[in-house]
Amino acid sequence: MEAVSATPTDVMVAVFGASAGVGGLVLVFLGVLITSIGTYPGGTSDQALAPLRRGAWYAVGAFGGSLATIAASLAWLAVHDAHWLYVVTLAMFSVLLVALLGLAIVVARETT
């Protein structure tokens, strides 16, 4: 049986979809953080809410990273022959995954 390897187009379609999925996951996570902030009474100190607010802003940053990766993969799919864009998009996706892990670790550490 002959081995089949993924084409660059297959890889970019997968990165496009996975980046959109990460963006959706981060938006759900952001919603949980914002809802958690909203459950505190109105007189709660800013210091008590600071970890949740920081986590929410980190989530916004991760969402922005997912949008940037989606845009880069879509641009590569439109251009199709830009090797530099292919490499940059894969690097962006790798950074996005590391950022997602970092987001989970930081928010878990700051809110528990």
Residue with tokens 């950074």: 95
pLDDT digits over 18-64, tens only? 999 999 999 999 999 999 899 999 899 999 899 999 999 999 999 99
pLDDT at residue 79 above 80? yes
Alpha helices in 46-111 (DSSP H): 46-79, 83-111
Identify the CA nearest to 66 among candidates 86, 93, 88: 93
Structure tokens given for 3: 């081995």
Q: What is the pLDDT of residue 14?
A: 97
Give the burial class of 13: count Cβ atoms within 10 A of its Cβ; 0-12 exposed, 13-18 middle, 19 or more buried: middle
User: What residue ranges do the domains of the chain occupy?
Assistant: 11-36+50-111
Q: What is the pLDDT of residue 18?
A: 98
pLDDT confidence tier of residue 109, bands split at 50, 70 and 90: confident
Q: What is the pLDDT of residue 90?
A: 98
pLDDT digits over 80-99, tens only? 889 999 999 999 999 999 99
- Length reported for the chain: 112
